[in-house]
Amino acid sequence: MADDASFQRRIEEIYFARDSARGPEGTLLWFVEEVGELVRAIRRKERANLEEEFADVYAWLVTLASLHEVDLEKVARAKYAHGCPRCRATPCACP
């Protein structure tokens, strides 16, 4: 996959029908559960599991974006195009 937008499209191809049937609220619960698993992997310093959980959280995040008709790559790129959204510096120079 070349970029985040193609990743979001790929996740839609795999899961969108199921996630749409579950709805945004049910999908949000799955996302939160995956974030909890990521937190546990970070705390336990489980490298192999850490990579898997980051991938899962990312997939669930783009699924939520798709359910809300948000192109995640587009909005993230726009928000951070000029560096920090607040001070506009790279790296951030906010106090």
pLDDT (0 to 100) of residue 24 = 97
Q: Which of 9, 19, 6, 13 is nearest to 60 (CA)?
A: 19
pLDDT in tens, 38-64: 999 999 999 989 999 999 999 999 999
| Token pair of 34 as six digits | 């995956």
pTM of the model: 0.86
Could you name the CATH architecture of 4-80? Answer: Orthogonal Bundle (1.10)
End-to-end, the C-alpha distance of the chain in Å comes to 37
Put residue 90 in one of left, alpha, beta given phi > 0 → left and psi -120 to 50 → alpha. Answer: beta
CA dihedral over 37, 43, 46, 47, signed as positive or negative: positive
pLDDT in tens, 1-47: 446 569 999 999 999 999 999 999 999 999 999 999 999 999 999 99
